[in-house]
Amino acid sequence: SPPPFLVLDEIDAPLDERNARRFAEMLKEFSKKTQFVVVTHNRATMEAADVLYGVTLNEDGTSKLLSIQLEPNQSVEV
C-alpha cells in the first residue's frame, strides 16, 4: 500500500521546463493515493499544486507565512 505522505525537497531542481511539467503531471497522478509535500522553486511544479505555502521577509526583518489554496484551473501570477 502507498505511504500516506511523502516529502520531496528540491527533487525537481535539475529539470528543464518540459521535464518539470512532466514531473508535475506525474505528481498529480500519484497524489490520488499519496499526499505530497514538495519543497520547490520550480514554477511548473508550483503551478500543479493544490495549495501553496511560502515564507516571505517583512521590512522589519521578521518572517511571514503565506498560504494559497487554489481551485482547479486557477492560476496565480508571480
**DSSP state for residue 30 in the 8-state scheme:** H
Length of the chain: 78
Q: Where are the beta strands (DSSP E) in 1-78?
A: 5-9, 35-39, 51-57, 63-69
Question: Mind listing the pLDDT tens digit for each residue in 12-67?
Answer: 999 999 999 999 999 999 988 999 999 999 998 998 888 999 999 999 999 999 99
How many Cα atoms sit within 13 Å of 24 on the Cβ side?
20
Give the residue, 2 or 35, on which the prediction is more confident: 35
